[in-house]
């Protein structure tokens, strides 16, 4: 399916509204006008729009007391999401003749959301859903603000999946060309040892676990592998991951 510039812009606006509950072009500039004429509307939303978080132009920043949602939420959602919106609503991308490179296509959004899903966990303190910052030694829960120490992660190439209790692993991780909707693994607590988590193999494939000493062990369907740093897993099709 091919998208026009307007389609892609509308998609980005809709996504922004969903996450931050604020229009991306509604900030100081739009609220300072008592009566929005058609001409002004055309200027602010069409001819020379300014994204409220534009990196180089702060003339349309959100206003405290009016745009509280976006002020509160902007910093707590993952960096990858912020960066993608910054690109989407950059002045270059919003110009009429923006080339294909500067536009954020549907497939790029999909990649961002899959990346975010890999870091979505239930906060161990308040049980609310929150995102783990994979590049930080600790993360503050979006809901209760308490600190969550950096958990173990499964690294496959550049991708990192947070390994915390309740996290699901999908076929897009464990199979070459696998479906991102098919669950193939699950992180659960291991009853035998307090604090130990295991990755259950919920797929029909046999995985191969490689211990830190290099010993290998088949992980059959419904068997599990301990979540311990240094363990490697070879998935179906040869995808190799390491627990870090
Ligand atoms: Zn919490």
Domain regions of the chain by residue span: 5-114, 151-243
The predicted pLDDT at position 99 comes to 62
Nearest by Cα to 148 from 166, 169, 158, 134: 134
Q: Give residue 221's region: left, alpha or beta (phi > 0; psi -120 to 50).
A: beta
The predicted pLDDT at position 83 comes to 94
How far does residue 178's CA lie from ligand 1's centre (Å)? 32
How far does residue 85's CA lie from ligand 1's centre (Å)? 25
The helix (run of H) or strand (run of E) holding residue 218 is strand 216-219
How far does residue 133's CA lie from ligand 1's centre (Å)? 14
How far does residue 129's CA lie from ligand 1's centre (Å)? 8
Sequential pLDDT tens for the chain (244 residues): 455 777 888 899 999 999 999 999 999 998 887 777 787 777 777 778 999 999 999 999 999 999 999 999 998 889 999 999 999 999 888 876 666 566 778 889 999 999 999 999 999 999 999 999 998 999 999 899 999 999 999 999 889 999 999 999 999 999 888 899 999 999 999 988 888 999 999 999 999 999 999 999 999 999 999 999 999 999 988 789 999 9
How far does residue 141's CA lie from ligand 1's centre (Å)? 5
The predicted pLDDT at position 193 comes to 87
Helix (H, G, I), strand (E, B) or coil at 195: coil
How far does residue 75's CA lie from ligand 1's centre (Å)? 16
pTM for this prediction:
0.84
Rounded to 5, what percent of the chain is helix, strand, coil?
30, 25, 50
Say if residues 60 and 79 touch (Cβ distance below 8 Å).
no
How far does residue 195's CA lie from ligand 1's centre (Å)? 19
How far does residue 148's CA lie from ligand 1's centre (Å)? 8
Q: How far is CA 193 from the centre of its chain?
A: 31
How far does residue 216's CA lie from ligand 1's centre (Å)? 38
Q: Match domain 151-243 to its CATH number in 3.20.20.10, 2.60.200.20, 3.40.640.10, 3.40.50.10490.
A: 2.60.200.20
């Amino acid at each position: 399916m091919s998208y026009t510039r307007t389609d892609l812009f509308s998609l980005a606006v809709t996504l922004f509204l969903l996450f931050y509950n604020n229009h991306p072009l509604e900030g100081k500039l739009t609220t300072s006008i008592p009566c929005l004429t058609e001409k002004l509307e055309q200027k602010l939303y069409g001819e020379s729009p300014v994204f409220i978080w534009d990196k180089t132009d702060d003339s349309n920043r959100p206003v405290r007391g009016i745009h509280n949602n976006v002020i509160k939420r902007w910093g707590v959602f993952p960096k990858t999401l912020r960066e993608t919106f910054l690109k989407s609503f950059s002045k270059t991308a919003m110009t009429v003749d923006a080339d294909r490179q500067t536009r954020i296509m549907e497939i790029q959004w999909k990649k961002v959301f899959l990346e975010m899903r890999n870091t979505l966990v239930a906060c161990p303190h308040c049980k609310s859903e929150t995102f783990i910052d994979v590049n930080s030694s600790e993360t503050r829960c979006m809901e209760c603000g308490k600190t969550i120490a950096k958990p173990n992660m499964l690294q496959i190439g550049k991708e990192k999946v947070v390994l915390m209790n309740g996290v699901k692993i999908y076929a897009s991780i464990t199979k070459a060309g696998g479906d991102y909707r098919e669950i193939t693994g699950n992180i659960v607590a291991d009853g035998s040892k307090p604090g130990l988590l295991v990755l259950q193999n919920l797929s029909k494939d046999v995985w191969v676990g490689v211990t830190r000493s290099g010993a290998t062990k088949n992980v059959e369907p419904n068997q599990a592998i301990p979540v311990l740093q240094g363990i490697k897993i070879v998935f179906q099709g040869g995808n190799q991951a390491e627990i870090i």
